[in-house]
Amino acid sequence: MMNPNRQPPRLLLRPIREDDLDALHGFAGASAHGLTTLPDDRSRLAARIERSLQSFASDDVSGDEAYLFVVEDLAAGRVVGVSGIEAQAGFGDRFCSFRNEFMVHRSQALDYANRIHTLHLCHDLTGVTLLTSFYIEPGYWGTLAPQLLSRARLLYIAQHPERFSDRIAAEHPGIADERGSCPFWEAVGRRFFGLDYPTVEDLAGGRSKAFIADVMPTFPIYVPLLPEAAQWAIGQLHPDAELPFSILVDEGFETDAYVDIFDGGPILLSRPMLLRTIAGRRLARVDDSREDAGANDALCLLATTGRTDFRATLAVVRASRQGVALGAETRADLGVLRHDVVCLSAYAAATLEPA
């Protein structure tokens, strides 16, 4: 069981800065085909950072905002991961996906019915808030860093709901090999667009995929007519994406309704208030007193309440009638003082992973 006196590694999530460009470029270059919306292009990444800075700073929201967060290992003094939020998917265009449906073909003369899986090109998810750009260095997969990187951005959404949709989605990459060959794309997208999967992913570069949908068939695709490899790939997850996918499923996201139009990967969807981190959050004043004998130490996700100076961490804290007791190091990391208000949400973990 978790040792209540043991603090997790010093990890801090914060908005990205201009001096994070080198780290971001390293993440983009290390990602396999389709595993991130980060383009492996330094100038485009610099533009992504600038767009994020403007999004955090803007007082007026349009829906075109895109926010990038990084996680720092404070002990090592470096950035080890990135994640993002698109305020409205497909802003100014369409967000295209395939919707899974089943059609029943029936013959009364033969007394026979057949239920057939079909894919319908749709814009159902246009305007949803989209979780994007998740990447964590492999050396940190077994730590709390990916948990902080994924879940803390949900607290940002919850604290600034006017900036986001009442639905949240997350695309996850489907099956592709090391060369970038993707069975679903080869069977469907390439038939209508004529480019290989890595090329079309690079063209998208994290933008709307509506340019692909423009040349895709608008009528249903009958899945049994596809090659077996493509049929099997629908809704399947790339092995390297299992970690971020599992975190969001644990949060309460649901799958099965929609898949990506490029690689057939699963798209998760939920309402914000149905997610564990958001549903369990509360505000509390910072208090350095630990005198409440009835209180229990617990591992919590902690976040500041500001918009531009948002910070989040995972720490063992003690909640009491006076508020939440934070150690001096945690207060310094978050940049909060006694009596400041923080947002906290319990993180239900049986053990603390090793640093």
Q: What is the C-alpha end-to-end distance of the chain, expressed in Å?
A: 16
Summarize the chain as % helix, strand, coil (round to 5). Answer: 30, 30, 40
Q: How many Cα atoms within 13 Å fall on the side-chain side of residue 225?
A: 6
Q: Which one is catalytic: 105, 123, 238, 339?
A: 238
DSSP-assigned letters across all residues of 157-220: HHH-GGGS-S-EEEE------TT---HHHHHTHHHHH---HHHHHHHHTTS--HHHHTTS-SSP
Query: What is the rounded distance in angstroms from the CA atom of residue 179 to the CA atom of residue 198?
Result: 8
Tokens representing 133? 């750009």
3-state SS assignment for residue 327: coil
Whether 238 is a known active-site residue: answer yes
Do the Cβ atoms of 136 and 241 come closer than 8 Å?
Answer: no
Counts for the chain of helices (H) and strands (E), in that order: 11, 15
Neighbours of 26 (CB within 10 A): 14
Catalytic residues, by residue number, are 238
